[in-house]
Amino acid sequence: MQKRAVWSIAGNDSGGGAGLVADQRAAEAFGAHLCPVVAAVTAQNSRAVTRVEPVSAELLDAQLAALADDLPPATIKTGLLG
């Protein structure tokens, strides 16, 4: 049986404690396949966020189109959208 695809549209946390990294751990715990869609890149650690850079609308659209063609979502989760 194929795992259900969960799209997470969120930020990438360089500290590894939040955003897409945390979503990956949660998806694995529930037996789902996470499809991470990067909406923003952050510079952060366990104490502070020092920078946030949203991705372009074109790049966000390209990621979603690539997934839609092959891995339609059972669920979509959003986080930091830039």
Query: Parallel, antiparallel, or unpaired: how do β-strands 75-78 and 49-54 relate?
Result: unpaired
| Global confidence as pTM | 0.90
Reduce the DSSP state of residue 23 to 3 states and report it. helix
Reduce the DSSP state of residue 56 to 3 states and report it. coil
Number of domains in the chain: 1
Tokens of residue 54, six digits: 């949203």
Domain region containing 33: 5-78
Instruction: Please report the pLDDT score of residue 82 as a whole number.
Output: 73
Q: Is 64 left (phi over 0), alpha (psi -120 to 50) or beta?
A: alpha
Residues 6/33, Cβ–Cβ less than 8 Å: yes
Instruction: Please report the pLDDT score of residue 1 as a whole number.
Output: 56
pLDDT tens per residue across all 82 residues of the chain = 578 999 999 999 999 999 999 999 999 999 999 999 999 999 999 999 999 999 999 999 999 999 998 999 999 999 998 7
